[in-house]
Structure 1
Amino acid sequence: MIRILKTCLLLIAAQSVFAQVDKSDTTKHSFRYTNPITRDTAISMRDHFIIKVANKWYCVGTSNPVWTGFNPGVRLLVSDDLIHWKQQGWLIDGNKLPADCPYNGRFWAPEIHFIRGKYWLTVNSGKVTAEDTKGMQTHSVWLFSSDRVDGPYTLVKGPLTPQYNNDATLFEDEDGQTYLYCSGNGLFQAKIDLATGKLTTPIQKFLDKKQPGYPEWMIGGIEGPFVIKRDGVYFMFFSTWTRGYEVGLLKSTSPLGPWELASTEPIFGTRKKGYRPELAAAGGYAHLKFQDTEDPYCETGHNALFEGPDGKLWTSCHYLMYESRPYPYSQTLQNWEKTPQLGIEPVHYKNKMFYINPPTSTEQLVEY
């Protein structure tokens, strides 16, 4: 009788364990978010780039002021849940740089890539002087490395290119070769040896903003490349500010091209006819006809991809509110709404093509 009782108890225990395993296997998780994610002038940035390390997400971007004089450096934000962000510190603190530092100026569009066991930080900057108050005459790409995502970072080499370049990104292929892509009145590419920071092929401009045969929504300016490989195809996300701020997509069977549009229309972004009309007039594209998008933004662009809460690809970029945003949005902007803030959206891949839903401004639910 005792032996039978023990057997019954073991069976009940085993069933209980299997029931717990089955329950955990079928548990659904949910992630709720509302864009813009950040709503804080103190950590306002453009060109957000997110990298996940262990169970945390880290974010860098272009701090204010963006267009004139010095900006404070490369700030590092950190989050445990992708929703609540705080500043962890400065990867480059402009106030601590020596007076003769050749990259003391703008610190635009930094990115962090984990390649071969190290973290590689690309920064786009030049030297601000009394004669060159924007530092644009020497603005180019600088490469730093660290054993930790939060630094300290050591300068490897810079400037990496002999002319004005901006918005640098890195991509490591499956064979271990690393590539540098950047912008500068068009898109550029080269092979790079990270250990020395030397380009092993000449920097090549492969796409102009007024490339013959390409659509008019690119002619204002193209920038912010980001490269990923899927199913043997290389995809390059890039941004254009002709009609607001939109994201286009190129593809190629080689990391150095030739590149072609994966979609004849932008795959993401916002369009507003009344936004920056002076640039449209000066650039000769004020004649373009298009419909405004219904979202409350005038900019959603310069994107990069990262691992989201569901383990899948998400996109990050800055979301900037539009002063003439459509009803039912208030046209009285709060202080944080006058500055660029972080926005995120899930990325979808289907039939050998990437898709991103239009930028959202209401609560979204993702179950996984």
Structure 2
Amino acid sequence: MIQYSELPQHLTPLFDYPLRDTSICLGGDGVYYLTGTTGAPDWWAVTGDIQLWKSSDLEHWEPLITKPRKRTSVWNVDRDGTWQKEIQQRDGAPFRPLWAPEIHFLKDTYWLTYSIPRLGNGLLRSISGKAEGPYVDNIKVDAPLSPHIDASLFQDDDGQVYFLCDNGKMARMNEDMTALAEELRLLSPANAEHVGFEGTFLFKAEGRYHLVGADFVDGDYHCFAASSDKLYGPYGDRYVAIPHGGHNMIFQDKLGQWWSTFFGNNDSAPFKERPGALRIEFDQNGQIRPMKESRSEL
């Protein structure tokens, strides 16, 4: 059994707001932006907001959009969507959640990936170059980018952007990021079918590609990882990178230090369904592991 004691002792929420699948990026303006799944208490109901928070130091956070403005979200399905508006039924109840939005700063603007289960993945672009948007659907056809759950972006050293989703699927995007330029393919670790059944994320560090994903072991929700010298693999064995990390992502701060996001999936977590972040490092084998101290010196 993997214990929570393997995480930093002082891991605490960044702020007190119900949120899952935490995503953080450092913007072009030197500000950190955070998003994630909202819609508590019923994460499986009819939701549709993408909200953003900002911070200059990873310690003090505030909503990007606050009252008295009429809206608190940068994008909303019912206000801004098209194909995303369809409401289905699950166990006799209305079903249309918006899950796991991620924020990325690429090509001098901000991008939001997200998924609506049973409908598919979307990709939004800020047309102002600012984190607050406004955001528009960057896919030219009135349809999802793929029919899967979860979504992410990765930009390689040559500037090429790739779309990731589901359990480790990836495809190169075209130049203006309006469509996939190839079929999705599954990136698999050497010792398993997939790195995780959901929450796929890819980043490059220490000269290697690191693929992460979320999976359950004995009822606990962990972040697994596998690494490769080449983008399309082969990838090595998967291993537990962030115990109880679940659906997370990895980012760098202003000093180039590496972090993992966190949210706490169950009642035995250090905290439940609140945004968090912890410092990570790479061991002598090049594997990701949490650092015992979770804060940086910014």
Q: Which amino acid aligns with 1:49?
A: S
More helix by share: 1
Which residue number corresponds to residue 245 of structure 1?
Answer: 221
Q: 1:197 to 1:260 in 2, by over 3 A?
A: farther
Kept after mapping to 2: 8 A contact 1:37/1:83: no
| C-alpha distance in 1 between matches for 2:286 and 2:100 | 26
| C-alpha distance in 1 between matches for 2:164 and 2:201 | 8
Encode CA deviations 1:170-215: one digit per residue, 9 max, x unaligned. Answer: 11112222111111xx3211111251421111112344xxx89439
Give the Å deviation of 1:33: 9.8
Which residue number corresponds to residue 199 of structure 2?
Answer: 224
Q: What is the RMSD of the two structures over their aligned residues, measured on CA atoms?
A: 3.0
Give the Å deviation of 1:96: 2.2
Structure 2 residues without counterparts, runs of 5 or longer: 1-7, 66-72, 86-95
| C-alpha distance in 1 between matches for 2:296 and 2:154 | 28
2:35 alignment partner, one of 60, 69, 75: 60
Mapping of 1:79-228 within 5 angstroms? 79-89=55-65, 90-97=73-80, 101-104=82-85, 105-125=96-116, 136-138=117-119, 140-146=120-126, 147-157=129-139, 158-161=143-146, 163=147, 165-183=148-166, 186-193=167-174, 195-207=176-188, 213-214=191-192, 222-228=197-203
| Identity over aligned pairs, percent | 24
Which residue number corresponds to residue 251 of structure 2?
Answer: 306
Kept after mapping to 2: 8 A contact 1:320/1:341: no
Kept after mapping to 2: 8 A contact 1:188/1:206: yes
Runs of 4+ aligned residues of structure 1 deviating over 4 Å after TM superposition are 363-368
Q: 1:364 to 1:195 in 2, by over 3 A?
A: closer
Q: TM-score, normalised on structure 2? A: 0.77
Structure 1 residues without counterparts, runs of 5 or longer: 1-31, 126-135, 271-299, 330-336
Encode CA deviations 1:321-348: one digit per residue, 9 max, x unaligned. Answer: 525x7xxx9xxxxxxx6x5001211111
Q: 1:114 to 1:255 in 2, by over 3 A?
A: same
Aligned length: 266
